[in-house]
Amino acid sequence: MTPQIATIYLIIVISLILFAINRWRYDVISLLVLIVIVLFGLIPAENAFLGFSNSAVITVAAVLVLTKGLQNSGLVEMIGEQLVKLKGGIMVQLAALTGIVTFLSAIMNNVGAVALLMPVAIHIARKKEIPVSLLLMPMAFAAHFGGMSTLIGTPTNLITSSFREEAIGIPYQMFDFTLLGVGLSIASILAIVFIGWRLIPTRKGRKSAKELFNIEAYITEVKLPESSPLVGLTLKDIGRFSENHVHVLSVVRKGERRVALPPDTVFLPNDILLIRTDTEHLETLLTKTGLELVGSRRIEQAELETSDMTVMEVVIKSNSMLENNSAFGLDLRRRYGVNLLAVSRQGSFLRTRLDRIRLKTGDVLLLQGHPETLRESLQVLGCLPLAERGLRIGRPKRIILTLIIFVSVLLLAGFNVMSVSIAFALGVVLMVMAKLVTLKEAYESVDWPVIILIGTQIPIGEALESTGGAQLIAETILGAQNWLPPIWMLILVLIVTMGLSDIVKNAAAVVLMAPIVISLAQGLGVSIDPFLMAIIVGSSSAFLTPFGHQSNVLVMGPGGYKFGDYWKMGLLLEAVVLAVGIPLILMLFPF
């Protein structure tokens, strides 16, 4: 092993550890790793940023903008309206939701597909009195399979295609692996509908749809005015006003916070209470006791909900500017005109003052503001509305024009009239010219951390190949070919890729595995396609952890899931991937 190979191996191992620890965001880690590789002379400095010239980068950005156009058109709202009308129990609802999200994620960004349909799923859960936790995780997982059905379904498909083009001079076309994706989608949906949902825990005590929607109780602050009937009463007396559904965590009195309160603690005027409850019982408590929400005290004593103000439950998306920040640090009220009224977080018992809580991806927030202000602020802050009250985010329906543009670029790319990147860039231009997407929305809809990740990871993969590191790993595996047939090597590649994708970004897993399997296939003297397909399938099969895919994280808070909930249904789906995926790969892409 040469010093260069040893160095690239060490750098990759350290980067995988950093990805898994998740102390810093993945784009920062990826950029740092690229710089280190350049400093060690593993790639020339002038080639460091050539990854950003890869057509995959442009295509991913274009798909995200087109996704925004589909969202603005009202298409998904129309689909949601039909889903809500659908009769039947949980199995019928699951079949419909997973089928629709699979289809949408094949033609648009799969995270975007989940984000658009999540409010629909929550509404269905409320109306049908189905635990929302039984709908959201299946929907998120189904998006993975839809994403592997077309070239644009997920960035990893485009990255794999670029490696194929470099290896044999021909990239994958738009629908080259559609049959594989459709086959796995059908098998996975059947597994989810008949078995998978039964493996998802239903939280104890969540029986009504509203209770399920509230997930965990919110943490919020209320002020005790002199006129409140609570003044002079004790902590144990608050149960008379809330049916014992409100828990007082601490009291702030004269600037001093008091915790571990005894039951005989007497409430005094101007006390600030940190309480834990859900939205329904919070409203009851405010009505009966006259308590005031601290978050709204500066808005002219506005009611929680008036013709001028609206309240909305939102979930923090991945890469939101709220991540690791507090309402105080961001100064939400002054800078964005938004009040943070309450926070809900799974698996954590929050005792910090509301405006000091460090927010995380998946947290559910209760926000208050003017409708127009909220609409604009949610996009900037990176939040997704869960329950809209008098507020619709989006634009008037212009479905036909949007579909004409979108289907046209699909056909142009699918029939090789234009390259995929050119066709989708044309689609973006047409949508902007038709005012289906504003320029501001176009730039804001691009997931820049993902763009940075792709642009930096491609040179890292090339460094693994140019130093001989990929070849060495492939040769080591080839040493077992006398007792390990190619089909078992294919299974091994699929399992390893699935495992990597559960702990690191799937784009990073693809960049690491692609040079290795290309060298492996060439050493075996077989086609590289089955091995590249195993990578595509494996990188889209991150089911065991919430952090394996952005879709998994997105539903964590609204679904009330804990870290250990994912692997139960995830193992079932990974077994389906192995049992169905390997035969399909060999049938469609033989050695």
Question: Three-class SS of residue 526?
Answer: coil
Considering the domain architecture, whether residues 460 and 551 belong to the same structural domain is answered as yes
How many whole angstroms separate alpha carbon 134 and alpha carbon 559?
8
* Residue 372 within any structural domain of the chain: no
Tell me the CATH number at 264: 3.30.70.1450
- Helices H, strands E: what count in the chain? 27, 9
What digits encode the pLDDT tens for the residues 382-414?
A: 887 775 433 333 344 578 888 889 889 888 887
Query: Do residues 412 and 544 share a domain?
Result: yes
- pLDDT, tens digit (0-9, with 9 covering 90-100), for 420-450: 889 889 999 999 998 888 888 888 888 788 7
Same domain flag for 424 and 529: yes
Lowest mean pLDDT of 21-25, 230-234, 258-262, name the range: 258-262
Q: Is 393 a member of any domain? A: no
Instruction: Write down the pLDDT at residue 299.
Output: 32
Domain assignment present for residue 220? The answer is no
Position 576 pLDDT exceeds 80 = yes
Picking from 504, 466, 558, 584, the residue whose alpha carbon sits closest to that of residue 16 is 504
**Domain end among 268, 290, 312:** 290
Please tell me whether residues 176 and 233 are part of one structural domain: no
Instruction: Kindly state whether residue 303 falls inside one of the protein's structural domains.
Output: no
- Considering the domain architecture, whether residues 426 and 572 belong to the same structural domain is answered as yes
Q: Which residues form the domain of 549?
A: 3-202+406-588
Of 56-65, 350-359, 563-572, the one with minimum mean pLDDT is 350-359
Q: From 238, 265, 290, give the residue that closes a domain.
A: 290
Residues facing 364 on adjacent strands: 315, 344
Q: What percent of the chain clears pLDDT 70, i.e. is strictly above it? A: 87
Confidence band of 259 (pLDDT split at 50, 70, 90):
low
Residue 565 clears pLDDT 70, i.e. is over it: yes
* Residue 68 shares a structural domain with residue 135: yes
User: Are residue 86 and residue 191 in the same domain, yes or no?
Assistant: yes
Distance separating alpha carbons of residues 463 and 88, to the nearest angstrom: 54
Does residue 541 lie in a domain region?
yes
Q: How far apart are CA 513 and CA 462, in angstroms?
A: 11
Question: What does the alpha-carbon distance between residue 98 and residue 491 come to, in Å, rounded to a whole number?
Answer: 27
Domains contained in the chain, number: 2
* Alpha-carbon span 239 to 452, nearest angstrom: 52
Assess if residue 510 is contained within a domain. yes
* Contact (CB, 8 A) for 513 and 160: no
Instruction: Please indicate, yes or no, whether residues 56 and 103 belong to a single structural domain of this protein.
Output: yes
CA distance 157 to 174: 10
Answer yes or no: do 94 and 189 share one domain: yes
**Same domain (yes/no): 241, 272:** yes
373 inside domain: no
Q: Is the same domain home to 63 and 114? A: yes
* Domain-located, residue 572: yes
Say whether both 165 and 24 belong to one domain. yes
Residue 533: which pLDDT band, with cuts at 50, 70 and 90? very high
Q: Which of 290, 311, 332 is the last residue of a domain?
A: 290
β-bridge pairing 292-293 and 310-316: unpaired
